[in-house]
Chain A
Amino acid sequence: MEGVVNLQLSSKSVGVFEAFYNSVKPIQLISSNIEVAKAGKIPGGKTEIPFEFPLHTKGNKVLYETYHGVFVNIQYSLRCDMRRSLLAKDLSRNCEFIVHCQPQKAKVAPTPVNFTITPDTLENTRERSLLPKFLIRGHLDATHCVISQPLTGEVVLENSDVPIKSIELQLVRVETCGCAEGYARDATEIQNIQIAEGDVCHGLSIPIYMVFPRLFTCPTLETTNFKVEFEVNVVIVLHDDHLITENFPLKLCRV
């Protein structure tokens, strides 16, 4: 049985941080070996051999939750090897298993986060004067989220000079790998969920609802060597393909 954190630098970061390329090596969280059957003959037919492993970490290491990301991967696996006589090939089989932390007892009181988007609230605009007028209001019920519960809220297109094409929720992972020498921080999309399509009715509250996908999300993680964080973007696509994005950092936990 083995539990490993694999860190990988993104291709765009490699050039910049080539100096410490070598320092990013897998972090072993847990590793254990047992013999489940002594040497001998296994009779014909189906034989089931029970086994168990205690999940004891190596030294002062912590078991993180299973997470499949781009630059950070936390995986636990079982490998079974069967050594055979000289003439036959050894057999081997690999199998991943999922680790979830014990839910914490704490209770999360949701704090709604309101937002209003108009041309004036936008940063990062070169052609503000070219933008059509619009007013979008909404809220997220919480940005401190329970991973097993959906992200919820609502968005209202109060008015807009031009029809909108789409409203989407973009779930983004922000992975940071690093050590004393420096770090690489990359944001990539996990999934994009459309919540409105076409010229939606003005003044109507459109629900924000997104289930956190399993495996690809885990409770927000911050260690000395790497970080896994999540953000959500509310993206409004105007008819002329203008993109308006409102970013909300999330904190995920398991309670």
Chain B
Amino acid sequence: MTWAQRTTCSVLEQNSVEDELELSAVRHRPEGLEQLEAQTRFSRKELQILYRGFKTECPSGIVNEDTFKDIYSQFFPQGDASTYAHFLFNAFDTDHNGSVSFEDFVMGLSILLRGTVQEKLNWAFNLYDINKDGYITKEEMLDIMKAIYDMMGKCTYPVLKEETPRQHVEVFFQKMDKNKDGVVTIDEFIDCCQNDENIMRSMHLFENVL
């Protein structure tokens, strides 16, 4: 989609989303299969499978944040996944219109599953950067860390302590923040990750998901 097309599309979507009374009747039809095939790295068949799953859970064609949280929470029954789902939702909702359409969904998945390491790391940085200002601060990182630990739930052994997320954030910043200015930029992040064996290896972990 060109930038202009995207804006018009998102504007239209926004209009339809802001049609409060008709919220339940909002329908979103995705772009044609060929276009999506061109824009993402999925094959036709994979797109078909993805769409079928998507549409079964969200017949109206778009996911709003509550549904998203619901779905994601079902994978983590032992803890509270809603905070992390919120961050994830923001990461997927690239045009920030409050709902994730199939295009957003597929684009995100394309990066995560078929993208280069650079793109994946970019995506992860985007996830951590809550206010999307290009810097990860300690507070942002702490929020993310707490969200991840919340997903673990209460029944861990040994029991998670209050300061564990904070310590984890300290470790992370020590590793990533090269110039010690209290924030992590995208370049620092990518540099550091590329030098870390574990992280590199784990980036390729989910490639055969589909």
A-B complex is real: no
Binding site for B on A (CB under 8 A): none
